[in-house]
Amino acid sequence: MKKSLMAVVAVALVAMAGTVMAAPPFDTTVNVSATVTGNCRFLSGGSVAFTLDPAIGGVATGAVTQPTFWCTNGTPYTVTDDDGANASGGTHRMQRGATGEFIPYTFTYTPGGTGGGRNATRTMDIASTVAELDYINATAGLYTDTVTLTITP
DSSP state string for 37-96 = PP-EEEEE--EEE----TTT-SPEEPEEEPPEEEE-TT-EEEEEE---TT-BTTBEEEEE
Residue 10 has pLDDT above 70, yes or no: no
**Position 11 in a domain:** no
Residue 55 belongs to some domain of the structure: yes
* Spatial contact of 37 and 72, defined as CB atoms under 8 Å apart: yes
pTM score of the predicted model: 0.79
Q: Which residues contact 14 (CB under 8 A, 6 or more apart)?
A: none
Residue 114 falls within a domain, yes or no?
yes
Please, are residues 14 and 51 in contact by the beta-carbon 8 Å criterion?
no
| pLDDT tens per residue, range 76-98 | 999 999 999 999 999 999 999 99
In the chain, the number of structural domains is 1
Residue 21: pLDDT over 70: no
Mean pLDDT of the chain: 90
Range(s) of the domain holding residue 139: 40-152
pLDDT of residue 12: 52
Predicted local confidence at residue 25, as pLDDT:
80
Write b or e for each residue in 85-95: b if 16 or more Cβ atoms lie within 10 A of its Cβ, otherwise e: ebbeeeebbbb
Whether residue 34 is contained in a domain is answered as no
Please report whether residue 10 resides in a domain: no
Task: Note the pLDDT tens digit of each residue in 94-121.
Answer: 999 999 999 999 999 999 999 999 999 9
Least confident of 61-65, 73-77, 96-100: 96-100
Q: Is residue 5 part of a domain?
A: no
pLDDT at 3 > cutoff 60: no
Domain membership of residue 132 (yes or no) is: yes
What CATH number should be reported for the domain holding residue 55?
Answer: 2.60.40
User: Looking at the domain assignment, is residue 144 inside a domain?
Assistant: yes
Sign for the CA dihedral angle at 18, 21, 22, 23 comes to: positive
For residue 4, what pLDDT is reported?
57
Are 56 and 135 in contact by the 8 Å Cβ rule? The answer is no
